Amino acid sequence: MKAFLQSPVGIIEIEESEGYISSVRIVSSVPTHLTEKQEINEVLNMAIQQLNEYFARERKDFALPFKQEGTPFQKKAWSYLSTVPYGQTVSYKQVAEAIGSPKSCRAVGSANGRNNIAIIVPCHRVVNEGKGLGGYAYGLDVKKKLLELESPNLFTNA
């Protein structure tokens, strides 16, 4: 089951499967057959509400059931991302060290790229060691908007 949310960073597609959020991604448009009012379940309603609160700067942590498939390394990286506080950033190297694989900065970047639950599993909070933005599946403009939303002064001295 899917739901769509218009947000400051574009249209967000939220997918639910078996009671869990399984995907949150930014898409270019809502499929035509889904533009009519659609029935959505409680989990999707919670996700929409919490994302709206996040974009209104009223929510810093998400309380949603989510699950995504990945390798043990990816799951470790994603789990760590969920501990990075709102408004703060960490480097790929810091993530690698924190999950016990200090030489795996590139693998951390790859895991971030395979994160299917954007924003809720905050891979946008991972930046290059020198505070450069690094990469982001939805483009650096979106990553910068998310980081500025969480920490409006983050780029004032850059």
CA distance 2 to 21: 10
Each as own residue / partner, the long-range contacts of residues 121-124 (CB below 8 Å, 24 or more positions apart, any chain) are: 121/66, 121/68, 121/78, 121/81, 121/82, 122/81, 122/82, 122/84, 123/78, 123/81
Q: Which residues contact 5 (CB under 8 A, 6 or more apart)?
A: 11, 12, 14, 48, 51, 52
- 24, 117, 123, 142: which is the annotated catalytic residue? 123
- Told to judge if 105 belongs to the known catalytic residues of this protein, a careful annotator would answer no
Contact 86, 60 (CB under 8 A): yes
CA distance 8 to 19: 27
Active site residues: 123
